[in-house]
Amino acid sequence: MKEDQVVLEEPGFQDEEESLFQDIDMLQKHGINVADIKKLKSVGICTIKGIQMTTRRALCNVKGLSEAKVDKIKEAANKLIEPGFLTAFEYSEKRKMVFHITTGSQEFDKLLGGGIESMAITEAFGEFRTGKTQLSHTLCVTAQLPGAGGYTGGKIIFIDTENTFRPDRLRDIADRFNVDHEAVLDNVLYARAYTSEHQMELLDYVAAKFHEEAGIFKLLIIDSIMALFRVDFSGRGELAERQQKLAQMLSRLQKISEEYNVAVFVTNQMTADPGATMTFQADPKKPIGGHILAHASTTRISLRKGRGELRIAKIYDSPEMPENEATFAITAGGIGDAKE
């Protein structure tokens, strides 16, 4: 009966949330047995939308699911979600669920149109010491604070590939926002990934966690997305395989962000392009991950060092924000506005 009570409180909002998290258990009413539903959950598919986002071929690879069963599951899922088109107006209403997480710097937020947005992958790249990890740490705290546009704050998952996560850093940033240390650290779930495969496996756990505590988690951070791929695949011979694995991971991230309405923030490293000196490019360094990563990230921010503690962020690619720059500072309390 619990759901009815919730609906009474806020009639409009709940429908939206419900349509977002249609639990996979709803398939039982459509003649799919519990054992099969359990199999789907074991591979990180917990919502009806998750089924829609998985190809038949991938579902057939799940142990114990035959083609006939997969067809039946797909059919049942399509009954629950009306596939088809929305008008741009309907979609814009749906987009109202998108929230923004502040970066800690007003200039930077303005550049991003309010902050790191949900249902999207935001990628920040730059050389070492340009503030990528500091930005990740700051977001760990700001994501917990209520913000603009009715944003309520929530929990964070942090996947660390370079061993640069420092809880003490979160304490400093928590001081700046006057929030309790223990509470801040309690709301961040941390995992260290050791190989690119492990990184991918962690995403199954992430999806399960987001599903278990629906609407509680607001942000997933991966610092840095490419580091392990750089190590696990070396040379041109393994490039195709690396990009394929990377593409699968990014597609998984994009789906997770849309399925559970969370923001995904990833950092990325740079590479020096040895051929660039011949073509006289202004900046011979470029982000790694190639076109696959470039197309997967919704918004890309390039970070570079300014004077002293100042850093400059530039929109490198975004579907809605113009290519501008913003200057921010790295302070003891994380990312802040540059003092003139």
What pTM, to 2 d.p., does this model score? 0.87
> Given a cut of 90, is residue 284 above it in pLDDT?
no
Alpha-carbon span 191 to 133, nearest angstrom:
15
Contact yes or no for 25/211 (Cβ under 8 A):
no
Fold agreement (24-80, 93-337): no
In the block, tokens 């990833």 appear at 266
Domain 24-80 = CATH 1.10.150.20: yes
pLDDT for 7 equals: 34
Average pLDDT, the chain: 88
Tell me the DSSP string of 42-56.
Answer: HTT--BHHHHHTS-H
pLDDT in tens, 290-306: 888 989 999 999 999 99
pLDDT for 9 equals: 35
pLDDT in tens, 155-190: 999 999 999 999 999 999 999 999 999 999 999 999
Confidence of residue 282 (pLDDT cuts 50, 70, 90): low
Confidence of residue 277 (pLDDT cuts 50, 70, 90): low
pLDDT for 276 equals: 64
Which residue(s) pair with 264 in the sheet? Answer: 121, 220
Share of the chain above pLDDT 90, in %: 64
At what angle are helices 67-80 and 34-42 packed, to 10 degrees? 90
Q: What is the mean pLDDT of residues 95-123?
A: 94
Q: What is the mean pLDDT of residues 215-233?
A: 93
Alpha-carbon span 285 to 281, nearest angstrom:
9
pLDDT for 15 equals: 46
pLDDT for 2 equals: 40
Residue type, 206: V
The CATH superfamily label for domain 93-337 reads P-loop containing nucleotide triphosphate hydrolases (3.40.50.300)
> Given a cut of 80, is residue 266 above it in pLDDT?
yes
Domain ranges of the chain: 24-80, 93-337
pLDDT for 323 equals: 92
Alpha-carbon span 272 to 166, nearest angstrom:
28
Contact yes or no for 147/153 (Cβ under 8 A):
yes
Helix spans in 120-195 (H): 132-142, 167-176, 181-186
Q: What is the mean pLDDT of residues 63-67?
A: 90
Strands 155-160 vs 270-272: parallel, antiparallel or unpaired = unpaired
> Given a cut of 70, is residue 1 above it in pLDDT?
no
Alpha-carbon span 167 to 198, nearest angstrom:
22
Listed in sequence order, the residues at least 6 apart from 314 whose beta carbon sits closer than 8 Å to its beta carbon are 301, 302, 303, 304, 323, 324, 325, 326
Q: What is the mean pLDDT of residues 140-165?
A: 94
Task: Output the six-digit token pair for 44.
Answer: 């990180």
